[in-house]
Structure 1
Amino acid sequence: MITRRLLPLTAAATLGLLATACPKKATGPMPLCTAEVASGTAIESEAQELPPDLWFSILLNNFDREKMRPEDEPRDCTGRSAIQPTIPPLADPGPGTEAEAEAEGTVAGCPINNDLETGRLPVRPLTAEDIVINEGPDGSSLVWVQAAHFEDGQAIGPVAMVEWTQGGIAVRALGNLRTYTEKARMRIETAGGQRLLVAESDNCTFDEKMCQRIMKLLPIINDRFTTVPLKRVEDEYHPGGDCLGEATFAMFDQHTSDLPDGWIREFEIVRSVSFDGEYPLVAEQVVVRDKDPNQPDAPPQDFREAANDRQLVYKDRYFETRGSVWDEMIENYGSVAHDASADADDE
């Protein structure tokens, strides 16, 4: 993955920036936003490098470049909120239906996290640390501006797929991304004809000694990076298609249970996500071990192992999937005696 350098722009180009306008015809579909530089074929456009303050000005409406501050309630270059989740449009919305759903923070009957107040930090000047730029498909760039920050290490702000033109840039896809900022990386994947923004970053509040790698998937719908929920496949035990949160996955997780006999049960899961099939595939491997707290130096005893592969099938505004073996293992064995002899159920 290549992260582009951010270099100073020439004075002529800086003064000639026209942000969030569409002053010229573009080849192909009309871009969501454009920004041009006055010097015609700008050196910076050829090198595909812009300094952070110009990226902020392009992707954030009314960004104060002198103070390097976004608005308290920032908006993207199209005038939409830059911090509310971007939800996919309804295929056939009735009058007011989509607006009502967005106002209620629900998609396909599931809540989408739009709590922007809990743990939100005060607005501050942005720096070069508040932008992530990665290589996109066909010579494009993926740009994430972190407009608002949270106590847990997450940030939210506009994410764009940018095409470099002869005299500037054209925004070809746009949305909002909320995830952790540490070691954040983005790429575009395609599975079954559906394009996805794949964002990975580290949750370093997970453990004192290690960070937890997090993957978030945003389907590209109508040139928008959209936040969608996961829903469980309906079956006899889950007839309503339970909501499972957003399409976000921890690549590693741990859980500890205190057993009735005083032993400690440790659950660990490792996940991987592949995109080379008809649908994204989440592979999960769970290991369960027991420890005797009275013998801290003794190695843990293996208790159970399980593995599960589950597809993520994109439906109308959500991903449908099977339940995770992780939840089943914790539910089924979180309080079972450490010397139980039943074999684990592999799925």
Structure 2
Amino acid sequence: MDTLNPRILVAALAVYSLVGCATVPKPRMCEAELSQRERSFPTPDTWFTLLLHGFDAKKGVAPRPPVDCAGAPVAWEEPSADECREAGPQPLPLPPKERLTEEDLMLETTRANQRLVWVITRRFSNGEGLGPVALVETTPKGFVVRAMGSLRGMTQNVRMRMEHVGGTDVLVAEGDTCTQEEPQVCRRAARILPLRNGRFFSEAVSGEDRACLGAAWFPLSREQVLELPNGWHRRFELTSTLTFGADAVSIQEQVTVSDSDPKQPAIPERLFRRAQNDRKLKVEENVLVGSAPSLWTRMVEQQLVAGAKVLPDKPTAGHDDKATGLAKKPATPAHQGGKAAVAQDQP
């Protein structure tokens, strides 16, 4: 792997300027002076050195715990059950890799001279990864970090983009997690991080009263099986879409609920209920405000209050096997069993 020429990494104060007709934050969080060849053909080590303070290119490692190039710890804290209506994912951290490789680097071009760069420094048992994420601009002298933060998200089939909602730029990061068993089932989820004063913020979603509704984590497909007090299994399946408008993010959710008797596995599942709902997420000056808890949360809560128990999820693929952000085969639909007695309602 190519070694880098001497470069200068500088932490600076945020400075704002106008580009065209839109107001865009233009801080110079960190920068690297590179040769023309390095600018045109950057290696993974180029990005690791740019975003990680103290990265050792020869050994492929950064000091632990990692710190980003602007001096902030690479850290993440999900909302917990005692402070939010719905807790964020609480997976177990996997052992750190001995060295970073190209599998730990996610790149997305946003325009000709600008990229979103995510370096994954830690992975988790549910298929998520954590690491510094940056909006990087190519200049005549090298690369300049215009925005910086920490991102935790799914690490397969990663797609990142910037959206503009309610006068605020937001980072949208989508990715998959897949089961180990065959046929493999992949489920997709999105993270939303507002960009404030040159930093990507991992904010929770609050209600109008500022009570926490949950993490800014949005499963686009999700499945959970509950065991009912009578021993039957009740399967919840979610599909949702995010639509980004000028004033708010629209979240369209549909939940399908099916019942089955584990003592009679040959009998197809029976459709118990189907519900759908639209809710809004506003990006205000200093907080994300949701119009309501997720449909999934409300429906599952009803079952738990009635005595149902959550059954363990299926194990996900190991991070060594499924760590890249390259395009993969389309995911298998989560469930294709027979259904009957269709009913629809709107909570």
For the superposition of Structure 1 and Structure 2, which TM-score range results when normalised by the shorter chain? Answer: 0.7 to 0.9
The whole-number CA distance in structure 2 between the counterparts of 1:153 and 1:124 is 18
- 61-70 or 252-261: which moved more? 252-261
- 327-336 or 142-151: which moved more? 327-336
Aligned residue for 1:329, secondary structure, equals: helix
Residue of 219, 228, 237 corresponding to 2:194 = 219
Cα distance, 1:81–1:218 mapped onto 2, change above 3 Å: same
- Contact preservation (8 Å) 2:29, 2:146: yes
Residue of 25, 28, 31 corresponding to 2:28 = 31
Aligned residue for 1:330, secondary structure, equals: helix
Cα distance, 1:205–1:321 mapped onto 2, change above 3 Å: farther
Q: Deviations over 1:259-289 (max 9, x none)?
A: 3444332221111111035201111001122
- Number of aligned residue pairs: give it: 300
Cα distance, 1:83–1:258 mapped onto 2, change above 3 Å: closer
Taking the TM superposition and a 5 Å limit, the aligned residue runs for 1:228-243 are 228-234=203-209, 241-243=210-212
Aligned residue in 2 for 1:169 = 143
Taking the TM superposition and a 5 Å limit, the aligned residue runs for 1:170-209 are 170-204=144-178, 209=184
Residue of 206, 214, 217 corresponding to 1:248 = 217
2:297 matches 1:327: yes
Q: Shift of residue 150 of structure 1?
A: 3.3
- Contact preservation (8 Å) 1:163, 1:170: yes
Residue of 8, 18, 22 corresponding to 2:8 = 18
Taking the TM superposition and a 5 Å limit, the aligned residue runs for 1:235-314 are 241-314=210-283
Aligned residue in 1 for 2:331 = none
Q: Shift of residue 181 of structure 1?
A: 1.9
- Contact preservation (8 Å) 2:27, 2:198: no
- 184-193 or 207-216: which moved more? 207-216
Q: Shift of residue 174 of structure 1?
A: 0.7
2:128 matches 1:154: yes
Q: Shift of residue 82 of structure 1?
A: 2.4
The whole-number CA distance in structure 1 between the counterparts of 2:174 and 2:55 is 27
The one-letter code sitting in structure 1 at the alignment partner of 2:55 is F
The one-letter code sitting in structure 2 at the alignment partner of 1:33 is C
Q: TM-score, normalised by structure 2?
A: 0.74
Aligned residue in 1 for 2:287 = 317
Aligned residue for 1:327, secondary structure, equals: helix
Cα distance, 1:125–1:336 mapped onto 2, change above 3 Å: closer
Q: Shift of residue 137 of structure 1?
A: 4.1
Q: Greater RCO between the two (CA within 8 Å, min separation 6)? A: 2
- Contact preservation (8 Å) 1:119, 1:152: no
Cα distance, 1:204–1:278 mapped onto 2, change above 3 Å: same
How much identity, in percent, do the aligned residues show? 34
The one-letter code sitting in structure 2 at the alignment partner of 1:53 is D
- 193-202 or 152-161: which moved more? 152-161
Gaps of 5+ in 2: 19-25, 309-340
Q: Shift of residue 251 of structure 1?
A: 1.1
Taking the TM superposition and a 5 Å limit, the aligned residue runs for 1:43-192 are 43-45=37-39, 47=40, 49-84=41-76, 119-122=93-96, 124-137=98-111, 139-192=113-166
Q: TM-score, normalised by structure 1?
A: 0.74
Aligned residue for 1:178, secondary structure, equals: strand
Gaps of 5+ in 1: 1-7, 88-104, 235-240
Q: Shift of residue 296 of structure 1?
A: 2.9
Between Structure 1 and Structure 2, the one with more helix by share is 1
- 187-196 or 327-336: which moved more? 327-336
The one-letter code sitting in structure 2 at the alignment partner of 1:55 is W
Q: Shift of residue 124 of structure 1?
A: 2.0
Cα distance, 1:213–1:132 mapped onto 2, change above 3 Å: same
- Contact preservation (8 Å) 1:185, 1:201: yes
Q: Of the two, which has the highest radius of gyration? A: 1
The whole-number CA distance in structure 1 between the counterparts of 2:88 and 2:227 is 34
The whole-number CA distance in structure 1 between the counterparts of 2:91 and 2:296 is 30
Q: Deviations over 1:154-191 (max 9, x none)?
A: 32221110111112111111111112322222111122
Cα distance, 1:148–1:303 mapped onto 2, change above 3 Å: closer
The one-letter code sitting in structure 2 at the alignment partner of 1:302 is L
The one-letter code sitting in structure 1 at the alignment partner of 2:287 is R
